[in-house]
A = this chain, B = another copy of it.
Amino acid sequence: MSSDPPGFELPLRLFLGFRVLIDELHAELARQGHPDMRPMHGFVLQAILRGGDTAVELGRTLGVSKQAAGKTIETLERLGYVERATDPRDTRRKIVRLTGRGADSLALSARIFDDLRRRWADEIGEERLRALEADLRRVTPPDVLRLDVPGWFGGQ
């Protein structure tokens, strides 16, 4: 007759799990030629891939202002992960594209995440991991790439 665990452990474990994976990803990325990548860069690159090809659209996708999105794009441009070109059909728009290096970092990240998942599967078993993923899918929103991440945690 064991009682329920305290509810506050659940969010902490979820966050720690996230943090462990992201930290290990970036340690490995740094080892493999991407020492400048920050956790949020990967999200932004993903958001650019999935249709956020101007500052305004990217801002909408990420849930920040177009100015903030513009600054983030500048940073990624300076680091060599994206490049901008004027849209010939609408010269107001500047289309953001991943560079080879940007695409490379995403492909590499995907491989690293697969490795990390395999390590978790070794630790807790593939079935349990699948169950964990399935359960999380049931209690989280389906749209996996609606971040609103930047500045969400802090504030005031």
A interface residue numbers (CB < 8 A to B): 4-22, 25, 36, 38-40, 75, 109-110, 112-118, 120-121, 123-124, 126, 128-133, 135-141, 144-145, 149-156
Q: Tell me if A137 and B13 are in contact (CB < 8 A).
A: yes
Asked if A135 contacts B144 (CB within 8 A), the reply is no
> Contact partner of A11 among B4, B13, B21, B131, CB < 8 A?
B21
Tell me whether chain A's interface is mostly helix, strand or loop, or mixed.
helix
- A141 and B16 contact, Cβ closer than 8 Å, known pairs A152-B39, A156-B36: yes
Contacts of A154 in B (CB 8 A): 38-40, 150-151
CB distance from A64 to the nearest CB of B (A): 12
User: Complex: how many Å from CA A152 to CA B152?
Assistant: 12
- Judge whether B140 and A16 touch: CB under 8 Å: yes
